[in-house]
């Protein structure tokens, strides 16, 4: 039966993790996978999460099936965070939101729904993008192309190329956009550039799908969500996937959501009914624990305040590591302009290093980043920084 089954390639990033775990070098540093580690190099358990879990344990509940679209209080909390608690679009009940299995699950529910709605549509992702974007939309049955995004020579965004590409896309093309903290480059559009993207998407009748996996890691919760307000102001219908993997440090609980902004409450009701079919035929209904934690934190003022403080702590530590990396590289003798490192947002830095340099970092120095040149700044700390900077400086010198 399986004689003709081919070996599938490893996920380029998760595969790197396996390679890291197998490396006997005691001084190895993992800057590959996008995970936030604290100043001691540990995966944090947020205090707001621990307190919510303690409260849940003090009053344990039986675990029945959840509704297909998840915990109502959770979906409402997601909507408040993404669209603003008193936003007109929520008051008008124009948003269909479902709990999802991580941000990936939110993307997949959206992709499956879009495939039924518009089977011949093309999907465009940024070049480069999170690897799984292409695989996920291809596996949902779409032709996946890309729009220019990174400009290596400029160490920034090829915005003219991006707009030109959107301007030639046919009506109905699904445009996957990183709402903030672009993965892998770290370069985000300015509000003025977003305004042009919104206008183009509207004029060309494209279908925006915003992936928001890092809300709160760029400039702040509201600041990172500002792009949503720009799409709302233009009166567009659009998709937003949410992930709490990073912002709650709940990677393994798989907590995410999909929200679809519709033209009316009646339309949102019909869209919701279709999203529920997609969920029902994939995994029936979502799991309870992670969403309960997030709903409790977001719905309890003291816990919410604690979460916002802890999230700000992660954001500021990453920013401090960016500046520290620049300083350490200068100290190690790198004299090129490194200001791009502190211009980038979120967990990642496109370092500008090529695949050969990244491989040397791994084999000679035990420093693991992605061959594209992406390093996870959120995994840097005072202890590993000198080693990382020395190693990067060495491969930069050639
Ligand atoms: N989208 C982007 C851009 C990501 O970087 C990630 C990272 O994991 C995801 C989606 C998936 O999030 P989750 O782990 O919650 O499925
Ligand atoms: O880009 C990253 O490193 C994170 C984690 O298939 C990740 O988004 C990477 C690959 C993958 C799932 C999650």
pLDDT band at 367 (very low <50, low <70, confident <90, very high): very high
Give the pLDDT of residue 12. Answer: 80
pLDDT band at 15 (very low <50, low <70, confident <90, very high): confident
For residues 129 and 123, the answer to whether their CB atoms sit within 8 Å is no
Strands (E) in 271-362, as ranges, are 348-350
Residue in 213, 217, 246 to alter for ligand 1 test, most ligand atoms within 8 A of Cβ? 213
- CA–centroid distance, 47 to ligand 2, in Å, is 24
The region of weakest confidence among 4-18, 94-108, 231-245, 346-360 is 4-18
Give the pLDDT of residue 397. Answer: 87
Rg (CA), the chain: 21
Give the pLDDT of residue 285. Answer: 98
**pLDDT tens digits, 35-71:** 999 999 999 999 999 999 999 999 999 999 999 999 9
- CA–centroid distance, 107 to ligand 1, in Å, is 9
Residue in 132, 251, 370 to alter for ligand 2 test, most ligand atoms within 8 A of Cβ? 132
Closest ligand 1 atom to 211 CA: 1
Q: How far is CA 48 from the centre of its chain?
A: 21
Please name the residues in contact with 9: beta carbons below 8 A apart, sequence gap of 6 or more: none
Give the pLDDT of residue 345. Answer: 97
To the nearest 10°, report the CA torsion of 166, 342, 384, 30: 0
**pLDDT tens digits, 111-150:** 999 999 999 999 999 999 998 999 999 999 999 999 999 9
pLDDT band at 338 (very low <50, low <70, confident <90, very high): very high
As a whole number, the mean pLDDT across the chain is 97
Give the pLDDT of residue 198. Answer: 98
CB count within 10 Å of CB 48 equals 26
For residues 297 and 310, the answer to whether their CB atoms sit within 8 Å is no
**How far, in Å, CA of 211 to CA of 107, rounded?**
8
For residues 396 and 353, the answer to whether their CB atoms sit within 8 Å is yes
**pLDDT tens digits, 81-96:** 999 999 999 999 999 9
Q: What is the CATH number of domain 62-300?
A: 3.40.640.10
CB count within 10 Å of CB 323 equals 11
For residues 295 and 289, the answer to whether their CB atoms sit within 8 Å is no
> What pTM value is reported for the model?
0.97
- CA–centroid distance, 14 to ligand 2, in Å, is 7
pLDDT, mean of residues 253-280: 98
Pairing of strands 174-178, 207-212: parallel
CA atoms within 13 A on the CB side of 316: 6
Residue ID of nearest Cα to ligand 1 atom 2: 213
pLDDT band at 332 (very low <50, low <70, confident <90, very high): very high
- CA–centroid distance, 25 to ligand 2, in Å, is 24
pLDDT band at 371 (very low <50, low <70, confident <90, very high): very high
pLDDT band at 398 (very low <50, low <70, confident <90, very high): confident
CA nearest neighbour of 292 among 100, 105, 71: 71
pLDDT band at 203 (very low <50, low <70, confident <90, very high): very high
- CA–centroid distance, 59 to ligand 1, in Å, is 32
Closest ligand 2 atom to 213 CA: 8
Which ligand has the shortest distance to the CA of 36?
Answer: 2
Asked if pLDDT for residue 216 goes beyond 90, the answer is yes
Alpha helix positions (H), the chain: 12-22, 47-58, 72-83, 88-91, 102-117, 131-139, 159-168, 191-204, 221-224, 226-233, 265-280, 289-299, 301-331, 339-343, 355-365, 385-397
Instruction: Phi first, then psi: give them for residue 56, nearest 5 degrees.
Output: -70, -35
For residues 95 and 268, the answer to whether their CB atoms sit within 8 Å is yes
Which residues have a catalytic role annotated? Answer: 130, 211, 246
**How far, in Å, CA of 173 to CA of 170, rounded?**
6
CB-count exposure of residue 125 (10 Å: 0-12, 13-18, 19+):
buried
ipTM value for the complex: 0.97
The CA-to-CA distance between both ends of the chain, in Å, stands at 50
pLDDT, mean of residues 139-164: 97
Q: How far is CA 266 from the centre of its chain?
A: 30
pLDDT, mean of residues 335-339: 92
Query: Of 3.90.1300.10, 3.30.230.10, 3.90.1150.10, 3.40.1190.20, which CATH number belongs to 12-45+304-397?
Result: 3.90.1150.10
Residue in 186, 187, 245 to alter for ligand 1 test, most ligand atoms within 8 A of Cβ? 245
Pairing of strands 255-261, 95-101: antiparallel
Which ligand has the shortest distance to the CA of 31?
Answer: 2
Percent of the chain surpassing pLDDT 70: 100
pLDDT, mean of residues 298-302: 98
Q: How distant, in Å, are the alpha carbons of 111, 228, 344 from that of 258?
A: 10, 14, 26
**How far, in Å, CA of 287 to CA of 254, rounded?**
9
Q: Is the CB of 245 under 6 A from ligand 1?
A: yes
Q: How distant, in Å, are the alpha carbons of 63, 100, 277, 290 from that of 285?
A: 13, 9, 10, 14
Give the pLDDT of residue 10. Answer: 82
Domain range annotation of the chain: 12-45+304-397, 62-300
């Amino acid at each position: 039966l399986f004689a003709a089954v081919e070996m599938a390639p490893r996920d380029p990033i998760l595969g790197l993790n396996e390679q890291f775990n197998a490396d006997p070098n005691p001084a190895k540093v993992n800057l590959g996978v996008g995970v936030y580690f604290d100043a001691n190099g540990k995966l944090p358990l947020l205090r707001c999460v621990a307190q919510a879990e303690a409260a849940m344990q003090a009053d344990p509940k039986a675990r029945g099936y959840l509704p297909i679209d998840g915990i109502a209080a959770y979906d409402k909390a997601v909507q408040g965070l993404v669209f603003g608690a008193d936003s007109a679009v929520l008051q008008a009940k124009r948003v269909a939101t479902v709990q999802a299995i991580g941000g990936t699950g939110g993307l997949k529910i959206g992709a499956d729904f879009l495939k039924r709605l518009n089977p011949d549509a093309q999907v465009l992702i940024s070049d480069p993008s999170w690897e799984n974007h292409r695989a996920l939309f291809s596996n949902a049955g779409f032709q996946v192309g890309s729009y220019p995004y990174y400009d290596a020579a400029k160490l920034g965004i090829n915005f003219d190329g991006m707009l030109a590409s959107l301007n030639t896309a046919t009506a109905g093309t699904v445009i996957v956009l990183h709402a903030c903290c672009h993965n892998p480059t770290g370069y985000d559009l300015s509000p003025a550039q977003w305004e042009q993207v919104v206008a183009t998407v509207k004029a060309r009748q494209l279908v925006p799908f915003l992936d928001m996996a890092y809300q709160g890691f760029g400039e702040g919760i509201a600041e990172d969500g500002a792009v949503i307000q720009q799409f709302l102001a233009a009166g567009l219908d659009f998709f937003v996937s949410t992930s709490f993997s990073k912002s709650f440090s709940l990677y393994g609980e798989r907590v995410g959501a999909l929200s679809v902004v519709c033209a009316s409450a009646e339309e949102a009701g019909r869209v919701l009914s279709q999203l529920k079919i997609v969920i029902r035929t994939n995994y029936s209904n979502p799991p309870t624990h992670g969403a309960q934690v997030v709903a409790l934190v977001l719905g309890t003022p003291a816990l919410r305040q604690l979460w916002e403080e802890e999230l700000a702590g992660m954001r500021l530590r990453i920013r401090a590591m960016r500046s520290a990396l620049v300083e350490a590289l200068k100290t190690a003798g790198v004299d090129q302009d490194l200001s791009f490192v502190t211009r980038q947002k979120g967990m990642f830095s496109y370092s500008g290093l090529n695949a050969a340099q990244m491989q040397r970092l791994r084999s000679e120095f035990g420093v693991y980043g992605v061959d594209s040149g992406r390093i996870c700044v959120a995994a840097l700390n005072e202890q590993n920084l000198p080693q990382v900077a020395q190693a990067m400086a060495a491969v930069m010198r050639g």
